[in-house]
């Protein structure tokens, strides 16, 4: 098993896990959760997909991992207090999506990856990024997967205390991150695996079931008994031993991507 490679692609920090085989291999790109595991290195440890004959490149989300301000998540927490949707959820998804094309081009230059379609994977808020790449870009994708994903951003906003004061701008922003109306578009772009912990937040779980159903036969729903929202123990910033339930998710993702490689 090769050691993880850390680097920066067009300003985006990443943790890359090489395939066991030498020579150029396909590329799978992931975006981590903002819950634990909340960094690219921690996400790589939770879902390494070691058996895949592909590069797994885990990109860092804004203000996480190597991009934490002063080495802590405090700056991100301040943004949540300022405005959980516009300063935090929407802003992070927007930035991660916008910086992806240049990061992908840089990864292709830095790593021996084939130039064919990529795989995409996102957990929680990172799931919204993966779905947005599918829905709104023309990057060729051979298969996609999301885990306990932010499928309908209103459901995520509702997890924060108090009633969110929607206005015209924030309503437009939150609706742009509702992927259920675009389920057929997503399924048309690539086969989609929707992984949902049976103990995830009820609204997020309901959204996962609805997305998988709306996407039709190109999508599969995988329910994980006993899995809540996180995939790692707190604090979830540094790589940690893989939890038993994360191992179940990892094995399922490995099978999924291998099938479509």
CA dihedral 21, 27, 33, 38 (to 10 degrees): 50
Burial (CB < 10 A; 0-12, 13-18, 19+), residue 137, is middle
Quick: pLDDT tens for 146-192: 999 999 999 999 999 999 999 999 999 999 999 999 999 999 999 99
**CA angle at residue 126 from 7 to 8, to 5 degrees?**
10
**pLDDT reported for residue 150:** 98
**CA distance linking residue 172 with residue 86, whole number of Å:** 11
Residue 133's domain spans which residues? 5-260
The 10s digit of each residue's pLDDT in 193-211 is 999 999 999 999 999 999 9
Q: pTM for the complete prediction?
A: 0.96
**What total of structural domains would you count in the chain?**
1
At 159, list the tokens: 């997890």
- Kindly list the averaged pLDDT for each block of 10 residues, start to end, along the chain of length 261: 90 96 94 95 97 96 68 67 89 96 98 96 98 97 98 97 96 98 97 98 98 97 98 94 98 98 94
| CATH number of the domain enclosing 17 | 3.40.50.1820
């Amino acid at each position: 098993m090769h050691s993880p490679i850390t680097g920066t692609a067009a300003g985006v920090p990443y943790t890359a896990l090489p395939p066991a085989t030498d020579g150029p291999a396909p590329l799978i790109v992931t975006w981590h959760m903002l819950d634990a595991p909340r960094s690219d290195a921690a996400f790589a440890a939770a879902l390494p997909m070691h058996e895949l004959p592909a590069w797994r490149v885990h990109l860092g989300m804004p203000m996480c991992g190597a991009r934490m301000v002063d080495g802590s998540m405090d700056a991100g927490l301040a943004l949540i207090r300022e405005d959980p949707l516009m300063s935090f959820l929407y802003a992070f998804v927007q930035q991660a999506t916008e910086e992806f094309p240049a990061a992908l081009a840089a990864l292709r230059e830095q790593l021996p990856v084939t130039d064919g379609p990529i795989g995409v994977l996102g957990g929680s808020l990172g799931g919204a990024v993966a779905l947005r790449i599918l829905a709104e870009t023309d990057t060729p994708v051979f298969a996609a997967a999301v885990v306990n994903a932010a499928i309908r951003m209103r459901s995520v906003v509702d997890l924060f205390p108090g009633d969110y004061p929607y206005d015209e701008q924030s309503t437009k922003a939150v609706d742009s991150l509702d992927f259920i109306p675009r389920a057929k578009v997503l399924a048309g772009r690539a086969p989609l695996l929707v992984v949902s912990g049976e103990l995830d937040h009820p609204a997020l779980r309901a959204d996962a079931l609805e997305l998988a159903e709306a996407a039709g036969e190109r999508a599969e729903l995988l329910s994980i008994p006993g899995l809540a929202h996180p995939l790692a123990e707190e604090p979830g910033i540094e790589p940690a031993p893989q939890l038993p339930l994360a191992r179940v998710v990892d094995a399922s993702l490995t099978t999924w991507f291998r099938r479509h490689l």
